[in-house]
Amino acid sequence: MPEFFVAEALDKELDTLPKAKTVPRHEMRTDVLVIGAGPTGLACAIEALKIGLKVIVVDKGCLVNSLFHYPVGMLFFTTPELLEIGDIPFTTAQQKPTREEALEYYRKVTEHYSLDIRQYEWVKTVMGEDGDFAITATDRAGRPHDYRAKKVIVATGYYDLSNKLEIPGEDLPKVSHYYGEPHPYYDTDVMVIGGKNSAAIAALDLWRHGARVTLVYRGSQLHHHVKYWIKPDLENRIKAGEIEAYFNSFVQEIAIDHVVIITPRGPIRLKNDFVLAMVGYHPDYDFLRSMGIELSDEQHRPVCDPVSLESNVRGIYVAGVIVAGSRTNEIFIENGRFHGKQIAADLKIKIKP
């Protein structure tokens, strides 16, 4: 099914559904302010709207910013119905939706519910108390925007903060913690650091588009979390010598034209043009702590009610992957999208629209 037919089918579905009322765009006061315009944040906003509350969503990037930064042409690991929010069907041309289809879907859902999304505003502080929170955000020009809200939902995800290697050369322009598309790497020597899904996908895509790929991973083999249809493909490329791999190894130093890695056989210096450090991401723990949210010692999970998801700070709720702390592989769109219903059930009791 061509992509424009998918969008047309989604438009027809949306026309049959009731629309919700939202706060005017110029308004800075609201019942609920959602921090984060990812799928979970949107789901939270929709569920709050459904019970008659005014909602503003603020994000430091664009709508579903994390999905936008996924590799171009990427297929989701899941089926479309597991990405649905707001009771709106996700119509797709194939069994597994593409990044482009997901972006289109969430745009259409946002338009249908007339969600008030304040893009490119970075929330810096959340002050005040339950029933009267003062939230300050800054836009790309550095101008402040001051909001007041009765309740706050934090659904900031984790994809914006990459784990660091903490080695010399990591700040060189040739190093990236994100992978977008293969074309810029054609006919170059690229090192991919990591052994999980992101690293595996990048390594295969780069090799298929003409890059000379070397994979470096601390583990003895690819991580068991690598998807079942990706893992054997990469293992076969390694076995055939088409992708060079160093296991039980780590990068010691990155230089302009080479990389030094430590292997079981000792240090090795490899010619190199680009490095993709696909070593994971983490939530903004400092931001959570700045609001007074307590985090568990080992896994940095926010202290919250498991049913309502209200944190130890009354009136501030947590949603999405940040609920799992450092265990970012526990919560995805598929289960995080239900957090909106949990939170809305509690808001319905505590706020009268």
pLDDT in tens, 282-330: 899 999 999 999 999 989 999 999 999 999 999 999 999 999 887 877 7
79-94 pLDDT, tens digit each: 899 899 999 999 888 8
Bridge partners of 118?
58
User: How many other CB atoms are found less than 10 A from the CB of residue 190?
Assistant: 24
3-class secondary-structure state, position 45: helix
Note the pTM of the prediction, 2 decimals.
0.86
> Across all residues in the chain, what is the average pLDDT?
91
The span from the CA of 88 to the CA of 113, in Å, is: 10
Q: Where in the chain is the domain with CATH 3.50.50.60?
A: 3-160+281-350, 175-277
Counting residues of the chain whose pLDDT is more than 90, the rounded percentage is 77
41-76 pLDDT, tens digit each: 999 999 999 999 999 999 999 999 999 988 888 888
The span from the CA of 238 to the CA of 319, in Å, is: 39
Place of tokens 């947590």: 318
- 171 burial (CB, 10 Å; 0-12 / 13-18 / 19+) is exposed
Angle ∠(21,26,28) on CA atoms, nearest 5: 90
Alpha helices in 16-77 (DSSP H): 39-50, 65-68
Burial 140-161 (b: 16+ CB within 10 A, else e): eeeeebebebbbbbbbbbbbbb
Place of tokens 């790497």: 185
Question: Does 3.50.50.60 match the CATH number of domain 3-160+281-350?
Answer: yes
Place of tokens 């005017």: 24
The span from the CA of 341 to the CA of 353, in Å, is: 17
CATH number belonging to the domain at 175-277, selected among 3.90.380.10, 3.60.21.70, 3.50.50.60, 3.30.360.10: 3.50.50.60
* Whether the Cβ atoms of residue 291 and residue 315 lie closer than 8 Å to each other: no
Run means of pLDDT, 10 residues per run, the chain, 353 residues: 50 54 70 97 97 97 94 85 94 88 96 98 97 97 97 92 95 96 97 96 96 98 90 97 98 98 98 97 93 94 96 97 83 86 96 74
